[in-house]
Amino acid sequence: MALKAMVLGAGSAGEGHSIALQQAGVEVAAIASRTAAVVRKVADDLGIRIASTDWRRTLEEVKPDIVAVATPGDTHVEMVEAALAQRCHILIDKPLAPTAAEARRLALATKKAGVRSAYAATSCYQPSALLARNLIRDGAIGTLYEAEFVSHYRWPQRLPYGWPHRLKLGGGRLNNNFTHKLAIAESVCSGVSLSIAGETRNDLRRAPRVPMPHDFRDWHKSEVSPEAAEAAGWAEVDSDWSYTVLARIGAPGSDPLKAASVTFRHSCLRKGKHQDYVAFYGSDGTIHVDEAYCQAAVHLWREGDSSFREVPLTAEVESWLPSPQSRANWPKGWDIVQRSWNALAREFVRDIEGKPFAPYLTIADGWRHQEVIDAVRARSGWKDIPREP
């Protein structure tokens, strides 16, 4: 008998989690969201029988094996605890929770419940990130010493006020950009964050009080005119829009001073001249990956080479990643987002079913990531990151 799931949230993540679970062989029996027309349309599009605006009642009635939480971060504690009370396995989007204390609470509760969990910081499944990891694993650049993640986005500054602008709702660039990059860094470096330092900056300060679209994909296209913003009035923004993070990433329990040094530099509002990139520097060479989340070409330089050469994706990477099979309304070129969700759901479901699976991120990793984020926001210098909640 197939596993049965319920999805909480009918935005981009709700659609993506639903499709990923369906592709992994799970029956998505119900989806819940606050807006009846929206959740009904998503349910109809994806062949989900129950569309609900009362997630608690539906959770009790459906009694799913898996609950996927695809809502803003401030709702996660309540939803996960309700699902754990029914001993459901949990698939949850990032951030795990707005603070490390709340994330720790969920990690401990999940461990106590004895269920499986999956944490969807899924950019570590970008094909180019997987290729870079394999190159380092195979010794292409020798001993890994350094890595850097550099991005400048120049987002519109008059987007509708909503959860991305508020830390207590799980907003901010650390929660919603850095979590993905940290997952890439730990995956490619084959380690965890041992110690951390950093700082953030709020470049935005205010946003217009106009309604935020239900679906996050529409938010980026919703900048209002200066006149409309003035007419609506302004709301205070307290979330981070720029960050600098220094991390030492290595094997769990190893000496941080002997680990790889990783630099993350990001601004959401300041346009850069050069292309965003990710790079890994070793004793014998360098791997350079185009674009902020390792979305594009991989280039390799080794001692003795006159220049970088592009490394094509390997059959190993292509055959491991699931096909997108996406009916979600992703912008052009974003099918890899769905492909990455599919990869996480596949390994998660295999684990639940007792089948062989590749290691994947769990709620415990989401808690570690939130410990890193809280340490950066505290600006208290280098801090060691605990291994267990």
Architecture of the domain delimited by 4-122: 3-Layer(aba) Sandwich (3.40)
Query: For residue 217, what pLDDT is reported?
Result: 84
Q: Using one digit for the tens of pLDDT, what is the confidence trace for 218-235?
A: 898 899 999 999 999 999
Tokens for 233?
Answer: 């009035």
Query: For residue 27, what pLDDT is reported?
Result: 98
Query: For residue 334, what pLDDT is reported?
Result: 67
Query: For residue 40, what pLDDT is reported?
Result: 97
Contact yes or no for 150/277 (Cβ under 8 A): yes
Query: Rounded to an integer, what distance in angstroms lies between the CA atom of residue 39 and that of residue 45?
Result: 10
Query: For residue 323, what pLDDT is reported?
Result: 78
CATH code 2.60.40.10 for 124-319+363-384? no
Query: For residue 1, what pLDDT is reported?
Result: 78
Residues of the chain with pLDDT under 50: 328
Query: For residue 331, what pLDDT is reported?
Result: 59
Query: For residue 220, what pLDDT is reported?
Result: 84
Query: For residue 335, what pLDDT is reported?
Result: 81
> Domains of the chain: which residue ranges?
4-122, 124-319+363-384
